[in-house]
Each structure stands twice: as C-alpha cells, then as structure tokens.
Amino acid sequence: MIPMVKNVKIGSYSVGDGQPCFIIAEAGVNHNGDIAIAERLIDEAARAGANAVKFQAFITEELITAEAPKANYQVETTGQPGSQYGMLKALELTAEQHAHLKAYCEQAGVMYLCTPYDHGSADMLARIGVQAYKIASTDTSNIPFLRYLGAKGIPVILSTGMSTLGEVEEAVAALETGGVDGSIVILQCTSEYPAPVDEVNLRSIATLRQAFGYPVGFSDHTQGTAVSAWAVALGACMIEKHFTLDRTMPGPDHRASIEPDELRQLVEAVRSLERALGDGVKRPSPSEQGNKAFMQKSLVVRRDIPQGAVISADDLTCKRPATGLPPRDFDRVVGRKAAKALASGHILTLADVEWN
C-alpha cells in the first residue's frame, strides 16, 4: 500500500495527494536570450492550461569554467563542439529581465518558477519573490548549494536525474539541514535529451515516495507527451516538461522539447487521466445506475411452486431484469417456504418467501 504523504504548499497550490497534478511548462533557455520569445512562451503555457512556467537563472562565470566542454547532446543540437561558456552566456538573463518575466507570468495567470544555478541567482530569485526553487539534476549532488537553498525557507522542487537513491537521500538531508522545513517535492528524472522511454523508470516514483515521504513528480525528457500521463497514473503529483515555440529553432534544448499544441495535448491528457482515476472507492458510477436494473439479474421461478411448498434449488434460476431479489440471496431462499403460489417465470420478491 502506498503511504500518504504531507502535501507541499507552492504559492496558492497544494501539491500532493488528492490534488490536481501541478504541471510545469519548462521554458528553460528556449527563449534564446530574447525576452519577446520568453513572453510568447508564457502566453502559450497559459493558453495550454499549465500551472507554471519555469526559467533558468545563472551567472555564467559562476556556473562553469571557461573550458567546460559541451555535453554530447549540446554538441548535436548546436552543431558545434567546444566550450559551454559562449553558448550559455548568450542565454543568460539579468535580474531585471527575470523580474519582468515574473510580472508577465502573473499578468498571464500562470506561476513563475525558476532554477537557480549559483548563490547569486538564488539570492536574486528570493528578492523577486519566487514561489519555489527548482533544483536541476546537475545540482542534486551539490551539497553546499543545497544547504544554502534550504536556508532560504523557500519550497524546493528537487530533480534527481543521474542520482542513486543514496545520493537523493544526501540531497534531501542537506535541504532539511539547511532548514527547508519539509517543503520538498522530488522529481524522478532521466537526464538525457531526449530520454529513451525504456530508461525513465516510472516505478521509481513509488520508491522515492516510500523512501522520503514527500510528494513525488516526474521531469519528462522523453519525446512526445504520453509518458507524462503514464507517470500521473503511477502517482506523480507534478509534471515538468520542456517546451518551445518551434523545435527547429537554434539552441541546446529545443530538439527535446514539445511545441505549444503538444503542451495543450499534455495538459488535456493529464486532466482526462485524473478524471479517469477517480477516488478509488469501488461503487456503481452515476452513469451505471440507470443500467443496473436492466443489465443485472433477479431470482426467477423456474417452475410453478404451490403456496407453502419448500423452495428448492431446482425451482429457481437467474434472469434479467434486476427488479427482484438478487442472485446473491439464492442460498437464503432455498429451503424456505413459498408465502403464496408462485408461477413459472415470476420474479421473486421479499413478499414471496416466508422468512420466519
């Protein structure tokens, strides 16, 4: 049995058991350094019904060394080898730009979230009032940084790509030691772009939930939208998905992102799945109630039974409609006397049987 967990408050949302899945449209650096593109991403996310749009905040000099090579997927998507420095510097946003995007999100009716990659960026996000820090999988093992973020007292969304369960335990302990006070959502994640479907390991959602007692979601790097809905079916309370205006745009993350129409499809699929999951109580649904009397069966007299005769098993059969005694009363009826003469084909009722 999956244990209940304490829900986490992020802004006006409660994330966890019994709540709609919190859907994050991950704009990331798909704005290509252009605020107008960032605004269009926010507009599309709001139209799609996402709960939040997430960006990335970093000071390039604090994030990487000048010689840090690009990851394999970055070489493929940019078409150029070499250092990450120039690529990321062109995607860096200022504090003023982040404040503008936060205000723009609020106007569009969607929450602004952001991933800080360094202390200065974390401080800046705290100043502008970010509702939660999203911690990238690249920092799951960055214990000093996690302690620093935990001390801010801001809810944390922790991605766990490239991590063992033990490393996630260390990360959670660092956040708790810092003082985050239990406001943690953990995301299962596979840090490949795009991620192979056979490596997303959705069953680890239950493992993480069992291990830490926090709400668990899924950061989806697969192609398409299907896997996100599957994750919700397995208990994910939060979905994060990279999206872009156009997958053919230049930049490191566009290729592994979905486009606006797909984002709308993802939101619709998750909301439909939530309705299909229901509340777990096994009972007839409202739409079934009208069919019950016509489709199920009653005890029916197979052959004429005189008044006072003992009713035998051979005297009864089960037929539609379900307007009389149900078949589950078969053993209760057999061996009792008929309260009146019963004709063959008669649907048995309580008044037809002597119960005393």
Token pair 């593109």: residue: 37
What the block records as the tokens of 291 is 């069919």
Task: Give the pLDDT of residue 328.
Answer: 98
- Per residue, what are the HEC states of the chain? CCCCCCCEEECCEEECCCCCCEEEEEEECCCCCCHHHHHHHHHHHHHHCCCEEEEEECCHHHHCCCCCECCHHHHHHHCCCCECHHHHHCCCCCHHHHHHHHHHHHHHCCEEEEEECCHHHHHHHHHHCCCCEEECHHHCCCHHHHHHHHCCCCCEEEECCCCCHHHHHHHHHHHHHHCCCCCEEEEEECCCCCCCHHHCCCCHHHHHHHHHCCCEEEEECCCCCHHHHHHHHCCCCEEEEEECCCCCCCCCCCCCCECHHHHHHHHHHHHHHHHHHCCCCCCCCHHHHHHHHHHCCEEEECCCECCCCECCHHHEEEECCCCCCCHHHHHHHCCCEECCCECCCCECCHHHECCC
CATH topology of domain 9-277: TIM Barrel (3.20.20)
The percentage of the chain sitting over the pLDDT mark of 90, rounded to a whole number, equals 88
User: Global pTM?
Assistant: 0.88
Task: Give the pLDDT of residue 86.
Answer: 81
Other beta carbons within 10 Å of 149: 26
Query: Is residue 155 pLDDT above 80, yes or no?
Result: yes
239-271 pLDDT tens trace: 999 999 999 999 889 999 999 999 999 999 999
198-237 pLDDT tens trace: 999 999 999 999 999 999 999 999 999 999 999 999 999 9
Minimal CA–CA distance to 164: which of 117, 211, 118, 229? 211
Query: Is residue 125 pLDDT above 80, yes or no?
Result: yes
How far apart are the C-alpha atoms of 286 and 288, rounded to whole Å?
A: 5
Task: Give the pLDDT of residue 85.
Answer: 85
How far apart are the C-alpha atoms of 347 and 326, rounded to whole Å?
A: 10
1-56 pLDDT tens trace: 556 789 999 999 999 999 999 999 999 999 999 999 999 999 999 999 999 999 99
CATH topology of domain 286-352: Type Iii Antifreeze Protein Isoform Hplc 12 (3.90.1210)
269-292 pLDDT tens trace: 999 999 999 999 999 999 999 999
Domains 9-277 and 286-352 share a fold: no
Domain boundaries, the chain: 9-277, 286-352
Other beta carbons within 10 Å of 59: 16
Task: Give the pLDDT of residue 67.
Answer: 80
Residue 63 or residue 209, greater confidence? 209
Task: Give the pLDDT of residue 2.
Answer: 57
- For the segment 181-203, the average pLDDT, to the nearest whole number, is 96
Backbone phi, psi, residue 230, to 5°: -60, -40
73-112 pLDDT tens trace: 676 767 777 778 888 888 999 999 999 999 999 999 999 9
Task: Give the pLDDT of residue 83.
Answer: 77
Mean pLDDT of the chain, nearest integer: 95
**Terminal CA-CA length for the chain:** 44
Query: Is residue 68 pLDDT above 70, yes or no?
Result: yes
Query: Is residue 138 pLDDT above 70, yes or no?
Result: yes
